Amino acid sequence: MNTGVGFLLIVGGIILFPFMKIIALFIARFLSEKISNKVIGGLYYPKNNSIPPPPPEFSDIKAVLIKGETEKALELLLDIYSENKRNFYYIDLLSDIYLDKLNNYESTIKILTIYFNSSNERNSKDITLLMKLVEAYQESGFFEKATKLLEDEEKNKYYTQKDLEAIRKKLAGLSKL
Torsion (CA) 127, 164, 104, 113 in degrees, nearest 10: 80
Choose the weakest-confidence range: 5-14, 114-123, 125-134, 135-144: 5-14
At residue 98 the predicted structure's pLDDT band, cuts being 50, 70 and 90, is very high
Residues 52 and 123 sit within 8 Å (Cβ to Cβ): no
Phi, psi angle pair for 88, to nearest 5°: -55, -45
Domain 57-175: CATH architecture, name and number where available: Alpha Horseshoe (1.25)
Residue 30's CB: how many other CB atoms inside 10 A? 9
Confidence grade of residue 46 (pLDDT, cut at 50, 70, 90) = very low
Residue range(s) in the chain whose domain bears CATH number 1.25.40.10: 57-175
Q: How confident is the model at residue 96 (pLDDT cuts 50, 70, 90)?
A: very high
pLDDT value at position 43?
A: 45
Most confident of 32-36, 149-153, 172-176: 149-153
pLDDT tops 90 at residue 113: yes
Average pLDDT in the chain? 82
Q: Mean pLDDT over residues 49-68, rounded?
A: 83
pLDDT band at 42 (very low <50, low <70, confident <90, very high): very low
Contact, 47 vs 37, CB < 8 A?
yes
The single-letter code of the amino acid at 177 is L
Kindly indicate the confidence band of residue 157, based on its pLDDT and cuts at 50, 70 and 90: confident
From the DSSP assignment, how many helices (H) and strands (E) are in the chain?
9, 0
3 phi-psi bin (left φ>0, alpha ψ -120 to 50, beta other):
alpha
